[in-house]
Amino acid sequence: MANSVETETPNAGEAAYWTSRSGQKWVDYQQSLDRLFSEVAELLIREAAPGSGESVLDLGCGTGATSLALASCVAPGGDVVGIDISSLLLGIARDRAAAAECANVRFVEADAQTHAFEPGRFDLLVSRFGSMFFGGPVEAFENMRTGLRSGGRVYLAAWAPVSNNPWFAIAGEAAMARLGSVPKAEPNTPGPFGFANRDYASGILRDAGFADIAVDAVTVELVAPDSPSEAAELACNVGQAVRIIAAKNGTAEDAAAIADAVAATLLAYQTSNGIRIPAMINLISARCP
């Protein structure tokens, strides 16, 4: 039976998506995804510079990797609240926090667009790829602003356009080569590339009442699984390929052929240090006035 977060929210579709088979992939591949995005977590923490004693809100925390890393940065005396709309992913986050005996992190299952934040509770709002899925992004960031103290900082990592991100482009192109093209996502709409346009992302923060807004394109490396076939499996299961295969009613044979094509293309990114894919993110920073 769906609970209230999954039904009575403006982002009910996201709640359903992130608790469905698509969300389950983030559970199945949690270790590989955290390794893939490890440089993004490091970048966010370096830029946000969480200090001991600070309180941090981790938006769209998923399975909790960044929440746990932030929690160790703010100890002693500080704490982290990970907020996420997916009960499925939060279950993993809570298990990980318990296994790590991390006492200064807790997780809230809620839609960050409407959750009643305690006014001025947080010093810092951070998100690794959890900020681009709101149906009402201005309302969502206005709402989260109420949870920040005056002077509170915001650091969000969002994907730059897919044309700058071969990890996604390679799998998407391989799927379309096999099954035919699908319509491109509308720009500036909720989804992984929802904040790809830097002016749009900046305007959302401005309209939500933030100050000192900057959106910088930053290049990082994604750390893929070491073998090309495992890297291809990951690229084909989380991202564009799986959506195209579903939309085109692709078969298991199609999925295998697409994975083979992706593995062959990923060979070009093999280094002495494993498969490393250049990626571009938009690093969005702002301050609560």
Burial profile 268-281: b = 16 or more Cβ within 10 angstroms, e = fewer: ebeeeeebbbebbb
67 vs 265 by CB, closer to ligand SAM: 67
Near ligand SAM in 32-61, by CB under 6 A = 37, 60-61
The three-state secondary structure class of 143 is: helix
134 vs 210 by CB, closer to ligand SAM: 134
Query: What sign does the dihedral 176-252-36-197 (CA atoms) show?
Result: positive
Q: Helices then strands (H, E): number in the chain?
A: 13, 8
Near ligand SAM in 182-221, by CB under 6 A = none
Tell me, residue by residue from 118 to 157, as one string, x for binding to ligand SAM by CB under 6 A and - for no binding.
----------xxx--xx-----------------------
Told to check if 96 binds ligand SAM by CB under 6 A, we report no
Q: Which residue in 44, 45, 48, 65 binds ligand SAM (CB under 6 A)?
A: 65
Task: Kindly state the tokens that stand for 268.
Answer: 């070009």
134 vs 168 by CB, closer to ligand SAM: 134
Told to check if 165 binds ligand SAM by CB under 6 A, we report no
| CA-wise closest residue to 208 among 119, 146, 142 | 142
Closest approach of Cβ 187 to ligand SAM, in Å?
18
Count other C-beta atoms under 10 Å from residue 188's C-beta: 18
26 vs 210 by CB, closer to ligand SAM: 26
Distances 60 to 52, 131, 186, 259 between C-alpha atoms, Å = 22, 7, 22, 29
60 vs 78 by CB, closer to ligand SAM: 60
| CA-wise closest residue to 286 among 91, 89, 151 | 151
The three-state secondary structure class of 29 is: coil
Told to check if 84 binds ligand SAM by CB under 6 A, we report yes
Told to check if 6 binds ligand SAM by CB under 6 A, we report no
The three-state secondary structure class of 2 is: coil
Closest approach of Cβ 253 to ligand SAM, in Å?
29
- Contacting positions for ligand SAM (CB under 6 A): 11, 14, 18, 37, 60-63, 65-66, 83-86, 89, 111-113, 128-130, 133-134
